[in-house]
Amino acid sequence: MRNDAKTRKKKLYDALRRDILTMDRVPGADIDEVTLAEAFGLSRTPLREVLQQLAGEGYISNRENRGSRVADLSHQTLRDFFLTAPMIYAAVARLAALNANALQIDELKRTQSEFKSALKGGSAQDRTLANTRFHEIIGEMAHSIYLMPSLQRLLIDHSRIGMTFNRPRNDKMAANLAMASQQHDQLIDCIEAGDEDAAAALAVDHWNLSRDQIEMFVMPQSLDTHMGAAITANSA
């Protein structure tokens, strides 16, 4: 019975995480605990344990006496995201090239194969989840107790706003998505070769490829006009 409850908790965790990353649950949306408890066969205590875990990881926010809701994508969140992302991705890639082991590299290659399959016949959700896992593995390779929490939080928002990039609307966006896949392959080569400088530089190039598309659809008009220059400066 205990194992069965553990399995149901895992299913709930995975379902909520997927829904949030793929925007099936939009930022700020309330989470109906009664409906979830019925759907997954969980009592209040294990349900709250799952929600607490997701809150600790940054997927949701728990409000006292007001229930839980999906983490917001606020003006400040977006500002921090665009300024911070290139620095974190570069640092993580650099450490990954230094610390990756053979098993992790094999897993990264398998995930890249899944991403390529999603590009050919999968949905935007499939592409987003495969891409997120690809970068999670690089974070695991970095083996940094300081960077990993930041990367995990960053990937939540990158996955959500990156749904635009993974749903190309014109030939240029489709070409960029294909280029992103090529850069994945190049990142694997750099990490496998232990080339930390090349891995860090490529991570920034990879971020820049998707940045303009993301900005086009999600950057608030009220953000300072110097934001783009600031991001470029941090990426140099």
Q: What is the pTM of this model?
A: 0.85
Q: What is the chain's Cα-based Rg?
A: 18
Rounded CA gap, 102 and 176, in Å? 29
Q: Which residues are CB-contacts of 37 (< 8 A; sequence separation ≥ 6)? A: 43, 44, 47
Comparison of pLDDT for 178 and 97, the residue scoring more: 97
In which band, very low, low, confident or very high, does the pLDDT at 213 lie, cut at 50, 70 and 90?
low
In DSSP notation, 209-224 reads HHHHHHHHHHS-TTS-
CB 176 within 8 A of CB 156: no
Catalogue all structural domains in the chain, each as residue range(s) with its CATH number. 2-70 (1.10.10.10), 75-235 (1.20.120.530)
Helix, strand, coil share (%) of the chain residues, nearest 5: 75, 5, 20
pLDDT tens for each residue of 112-131: 999 999 999 889 899 999 99
Rounded CA gap, 122 and 134, in Å? 16
User: What is the greatest pairwise CA distance in the chain?
Assistant: 57
Rounded CA gap, 118 and 99, in Å? 28
Region 93-98: what's the mean pLDDT? 98
CB 9 within 8 A of CB 49: yes
Query: The dihedral of CA 198, 200, 202, 204: what is its sign?
Result: negative
Region 126-149: what's the mean pLDDT? 96
Lowest mean per-residue pLDDT among 71-75, 148-152, 173-177: 173-177
Distance of CA 113 to the CA centre of its chain: 18
In which band, very low, low, confident or very high, does the pLDDT at 6 lie, cut at 50, 70 and 90?
confident
Closest CA to 89 of 209, 213, 200, 210: 200
